[in-house]
């Protein structure tokens, strides 16, 4: 029986593992291999150049700028997005006033607010980036128009100022993703027994106390997973698409918004240097793995069950 059971399990696992190896593991191996060549991406001819691409990368100022911006994304985006999502979810599920027959409830209209927060998830990130590109227009954009309407004469060039451009892009990513985590955290909070909150209220605990003593510990696993997801998103396609569509250059002005995924794309398709692009891709892979490992290590704590 045991032998038959293992054969049954292996039979189900073989096909997925083969597909994973062919479409995930093998491209990683190929990328590492090509990073030691001078392949242009346009010709099948190339030769081995050893660590020349890595030496170039370590002396490349644009690479270090891109890495710095990606670190900002991977640290600040999850911090701001998850903090806002936790606050909104807590208010929608627990932060309302007491009502008849319910000691713990959310604010009025919580269902509508959840739909409103989640709405940006319905839109493609390309559409969101394009809409905000128009909204950031210094001449007739919505933001500068709003500043004029309230009598503020300061009219910043949101995407044309190297000091503002990166933060303007990050604000768009926060706006477009916070709703997803509001819904995710709301689902987690709905599974927490109301008895915990009611007991805390009877003991005189306020909203801040119930959040830090009940909600946060019991949602910790969900928050940790969300942090990893947000970090990978900030190092991947979401950040690339937003910067590519919104910024001048793209990645400008003066490389002030260039991130690692964009620099990989530019090296491969603009500069026709696929080998150097794969080298930067290897660096991006290492950064992503280090980020996930650090978050999982720092977020490790005793699992709470209820």
Residue 56 inside a domain? The answer is no
- Total structural domains in the chain? 1
Instruction: Report how far residue 82's alpha carbon sits from residue 166's, in angstroms, rounded to the nearest whole number.
Output: 19
Residue 70 inside a domain? The answer is yes
CA angle 59, 72, 290 (to 5 degrees): 75
- Using alpha carbons, list the distances in angstroms from residue 42 to 39, 45, 46, 78: 8, 9, 10, 38
Residue 102 inside a domain? The answer is yes
Instruction: Report how far residue 31's alpha carbon sits from residue 13's, in angstroms, rounded to the nearest whole number.
Output: 26
- Span 131-145, mean pLDDT? 89
Residue 226 inside a domain? The answer is yes
Does the predicted model carry a pTM greater than 0.95?
no
**pLDDT number for residue 154:** 85
Residue 177 inside a domain? The answer is yes
Q: Is 128 exposed, middle or buried (0-12, 13-18, 19+ CB in 10 A)?
A: buried
**pLDDT number for residue 265:** 92
Cβ contact 275:40 at 8 Å: yes
Q: In the predicted model, is pLDDT for residue 151 greater than 60?
A: yes
**pLDDT number for residue 98:** 59
Give the model's confidence band at 58: pLDDT under 50 very low, under 70 low, under 90 confident, else very high.
very high
Q: Residue 159: which domain range? A: 61-298
Provide CB contacts within 8 A for 172, sequence distance 6+: 128, 129, 132, 242, 246
Q: Between 77 and 297, whose confidence is greater?
A: 77
pLDDT tens profile 155-211: 889 998 899 999 999 999 999 999 899 988 988 888 887 777 778 777 777 777 888
**pLDDT number for residue 1:** 47
Domain harbouring 248, CATH code: 1.10.3720.10
**pLDDT number for residue 121:** 83
């Amino acid at each position: 029986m045991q032998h038959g059971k293992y054969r049954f399990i292996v039979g189900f696992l073989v096909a997925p593992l083969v597909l994973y190896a062919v479409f995930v593991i093998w491209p990683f191996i190929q990328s590492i291999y090509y990073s030691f060549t001078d392949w242009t991406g346009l010709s099948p001819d190339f030769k081995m150049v050893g660590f020349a691409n890595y030496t170039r990368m370590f002396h490349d100022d644009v690479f270090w700028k891109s890495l710095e911006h990606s670190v900002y994304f991977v640290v600040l985006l999850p911090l701001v997005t998850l903090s806002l999502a936790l606050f909104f979810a807590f208010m929608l599920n627990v932060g309302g006033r007491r009502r008849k027959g319910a000691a713990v409830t959310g604010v009025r209209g919580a269902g509508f607010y959840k739909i409103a927060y989640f709405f940006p998830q319905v839109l493609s990130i390309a559409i969101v980036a394009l809409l905000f590109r128009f909204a950031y227009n210094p001449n007739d954009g919505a933001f500068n128009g709003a500043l004029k309407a309230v009598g503020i004469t300061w009219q910043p060039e949101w995407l044309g100022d190297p000091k503002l451009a990166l933060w303007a892009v990050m604000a768009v990513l926060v706006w477009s993703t916070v709703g997803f985590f509001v819904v995710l955290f709301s689902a987690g909070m709905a599974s927490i027994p109301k008895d915990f909150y009611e007991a805390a209220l009877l003991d005189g605990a306020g909203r801040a106390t119930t959040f830090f003593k009940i909600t946060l510990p019991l949602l910790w696993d969900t928050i940790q997973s969300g942090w990893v997801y947000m970090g990978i998103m900030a190092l991947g396609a979401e950040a690339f698409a937003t910067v590519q569509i919104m910024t001048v250059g793209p990645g400008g002005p003066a490389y002030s918004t260039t991130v690692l995924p964009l620099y990989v794309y530019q090296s491969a398709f603009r500069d026709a240097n696929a080998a150097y692009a794969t080298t930067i891709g290897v660096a991006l892979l290492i950064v992503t793995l280090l980020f996930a490992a650090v978050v999982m290590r720092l977020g490790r704590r005793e699992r709470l069950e209820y």
